[in-house]
A = this chain, B = another copy of it.
Amino acid sequence: MSLTVMDFEVEDIRFPTSEQLDGSDAMNADPDYSAAYVVLRTDGPGGTDGPGREGHGFCFTIGRGNDVMAAAIEALRSHVVGRPAPRTAADLAALYRTLTHDSQLRWLGPEKGVMHMAAGAVVNAAWDLAAGLAGKPVWRFLAEMTPEELVSLVDFRYLTDALTPQEALGILRAAEPGRAERTERLLAEGYPAYTTSPGWLGYDDDKLVRLAEEAVADGFTQIKLKVGADLGDDVRRLALARRAVGPGIRIAVDANQRWDVAGAVEWMTALAPYDPYWIEEPTSPDDVLGHAAVRAGQPVKVATGEHIANRVVFKQLLQAGAVDFLQIDAARVAGVNENLAVLLLAAKYGVPVCPHAGGVGLCELVQHLSMFDYVAVSGSWEDRVIEYVDHLHEHFADPAVVKDGRYVTPRRPGFSARMLPASIAGHRYPQGPVWQARRTPEETD
């Protein structure tokens, strides 16, 4: 059955999370978790939510500017509407290239920032649609492709000094024999998670300790604390958390780009006695050489990636030996295709991928990428964990579920990207009831 993408709906959806200081860190004081959301609708049968009828995708933002993201997604409409619904690796490769290679839109990046994230939202919506048509969750849809199909999805431009298509093929072929066994194990055991829920900077000490203890009781073996606003506070909070969880639990810390190189070295040298597992985003996400200097200058392992703009910067972090962990984000780069390039680069360099999640919908998306990586790329979950934050999952039709410290492997078709219609209607900005109820009388006039 040949289907066509007939419609392209863009929504500005925002949640007033800043009211609870959920998500507060040293750089992001008051985020309102938001999604610039896109629905591709085909002429397929099955009602509005039949499989293959719709593909959903989104960019994650933290409030203001979500309208700019929505405008950027809108600018891609003509590349999608009227196109046959993507079903195969070839279709998805072609769409990705069309969206990222538009010779005029490319000027707005190239391949970074608003325009690139918008391409990612549309690419991910296309994957949701294609996997839905195949009746498989995205992780499995990917993991059942041949090595040749997977390589065809990647744009190797600017990568070949670090990874050639032939090398990528070699990595994927080497992982082929174990695919079936790992798929079974994944379905039975799920994928390792860690939790950031205890560690937001806006939480007081009691809440921090209580949530850290709960995390361990819930089966997590790694938690994460936000740091970087005040060294004395960080020492106190890290000591409290260490006392609460004991020596056997990993405590990662996250500075959200707060420091220059010298500051990162100094601060982490002071925190090192409390055995932090990694320091995340010590400095600018653009600073490859800075991350290498931070890694060389202090004893704590270095992680970054949630704000890395594209595969070219990921490539350099690996070439420069700048990081111990790569943190992909499902919605920052140009979707599944570009993240596949990053997974292959990480496998080549032997660096574990521990995705960024949280926000709204990021856990839902990124679990598919790590699970695919386990089955068909790196073939390992050693030293790999997906971030988990227990926020806003109730708004999704196929929410991420974590049990006993592990993501439960999704079985429903698609990318788990679909927000519930009532949640969309309620949180449209500014006209949805959640936002209308917050307007001041002056604004209402």
B residues in contact with A29, CB < 8 Å: 103
A293: B residues at CB distance < 8 A: 161
A313 to B285, CA, bound (A): 10
**Residues from chain B with Cβ under 8 Å of A213 in the complex:** none
A284 to B: closest C-beta gap in Å:
4
Residues of A107-154 at the interface with B, using a CB-CB cut-off of 8 Å, are 107-117
Check A67–B75 contact: CB distance below 8 A: yes
Whether B68 lies near A72 (C-beta < 8 A) is yes
Cβ-defined partner of A113 (8 Å) among B64, B112, B260: B112
Convert A55-79 into 0s and 1s, putting 1 for each residue whose CB lies closer than 8 angstroms to a CB of B: 0000001111101110110010000
**Contact assessment for B260 and A158 in the assembled complex, using a CB-CB cutoff below 8 Å:** yes
Judged by a CB distance under 8 angstroms, whether A319 is at the interface is yes
Identify which of A88-96, A304-312, A435-443 touches chain B: A304-312
- A390 at the B interface (CB under 8 A): no
Cβ of A105 within 8 Å of any chain B Cβ, yes or no, is yes
Is there a chain B Cβ closer than 8 Å to A257's Cβ?
Answer: yes
The smallest C-beta distance from A35 to any residue of chain B, in angstroms, reads 12
Q: Find out whether the CB atom of B32 lies under 8 angstroms from the CB atom of A104.
A: yes
Q: B residues within 8 A CB of A159?
A: 260
Measured between alpha carbons, how far is A55 from B136 in the docked complex, in Å?
A: 55
Report the separation of the CA atoms of residues A64 and B106 in the bound assembly, to the nearest whole angstrom: 9
Query: A31 — which chain B residues lie within 8 A by C-beta?
Result: 103-104, 107
Q: How far is the CB of A298 from chain B (nearest CB, A)?
A: 14
Known: A75-B68, A284-B158, A286-B313. A108 touches B102 (CB 8 A): no
> Do the beta carbons of A160 and B261 come within 8 Å of each other?
yes
Residue in B28, B107, B262, B288 whose beta carbon sits within 8 Å of that of A161 in the complex: B262
In the complex, the count of this chain's copies comes to 2
CA of A110 to CA of B28, assembled, Å:
12
User: For A65, what are the chain B residues with a Cβ–Cβ distance below 8 Å?
Assistant: 72, 75, 104-105, 107-108, 115
Instruction: Name A316's closest neighbour in chain B (CB-CB).
Output: B289
**What is the bound-complex CA distance between A290 and B316, given in angstroms?**
8
Pairwise interchain contact A287-B312, C-beta atoms closer than 8 A: yes
Judge if A222 is at the interface, Cβ distance under 8 Å.
no
Alpha-carbon separation in the docked complex, A287 to B289 (Å): 12
A262 touches B158 (CB 8 A): no
Q: Are B262 and A284 in contact, with the CB atoms below 8 A?
A: no
A104 x B62 contact (CB < 8 A): yes
Query: A287 and B115 in contact (CB under 8 A), knowing A68-B75, A75-B68?
Result: no
A30 close to chain B: CB less than 8 A: yes
Is A283 close to B, CB under 8 A? yes
Asked whether B260 lies within 8 Å of A286 as measured between CB atoms, the reply is: no
Q: Are A64 and B68 in contact (CB under 8 A)?
A: no
Smallest CB-CB separation from A73: which chain B residue? B68
Contact residues of A between 294 and 333, Cβ < 8 Å to B: 307, 309-310, 312-313, 315-316, 319-320
**16 A-B pairs whose Cβ atoms sit less than 8 Å apart in the complex:** A27-B103, A28-B104, A28-B106, A28-B107, A65-B104, A65-B105, A68-B75, A110-B307, A114-B114, A158-B287, A160-B262, A161-B262, A286-B310, A286-B312, A289-B320, A290-B316
A65-B115, A108-B113, A110-B284 provided; 4 other pairs, C-beta below 8 A? Answer: A65-B104, A68-B68, A286-B313, A286-B316
Q: Which 3 A-B pairs have the closest CB atoms?
A: A113-B113, A114-B114, A64-B104
